[in-house]
Amino acid sequence: MQRCPCCNARLRAESVCPRCGADLSRALSCEQLAKLWLSVSLQTLTAGQPDVAVAAIERSLSFKQTPAARLFRDFLVQHQYRALYEYLAQKQWQDARRTIAGLHVLQGDDEALSRFLALIEHLSAKPA
């Protein structure tokens, strides 16, 4: 945080605004938690754990909607869609369902995702 959200005074390291006296400790701790969870999200995606990365980026955004975290969430959406297409092509239905669950977390209710689920149910059903 570089400026006080109350009076726009320039801030140094202090957690109390030198101009208006606002206590910024809670806001600063949210900012740090947002950074921490963004970093967890980056690391877990790199480590091949996209489900954890999805949960971590949502947690980061719940503390603060930073441009970096929003950008990474958009990247994760694209990343998860690519994974979904790959799982569908390889008929890995369980992985496809798990990926759709992650996309639901990132995007909320989404018509396209519901249609993907219906498609998977149809394709994965054993012929009678």
Nearer to Zn ion, 17 or 100 (CB): 17
Q: How far is the CB of 18 from Zn ion (least distance, A)?
A: 8
- Determine the length of the chain: 128
Q: How far is the CB of 23 from Zn ion (least distance, A)?
A: 10
Of the candidates 81, 78, 66, the residue with the CA atom closest to the CA atom of residue 36: 66
Nearer to Zn ion, 1 or 68 (CB): 1
For residue 70, the 8-state DSSP code is: H
Which residues share a beta bridge with 10?
A: 3
How many other CB atoms are there within 10 angstroms of residue 18's CB atom?
12
Q: How far is the CB of 15 from Zn ion (least distance, A)?
A: 12
Nearer to Zn ion, 19 or 115 (CB): 19
Nearer to Zn ion, 10 or 91 (CB): 10
Q: How far is the CB of 1 from Zn ion (least distance, A)?
A: 11
Interface with Zn ion by CB under 5 A: which residues?
4, 6-7, 9, 17, 19-20, 22
Cα dihedral 19, 21, 23, 29 in deg (nearest 10)? 20
Q: Which two tokens stand for residue 9?
A: 């005074």
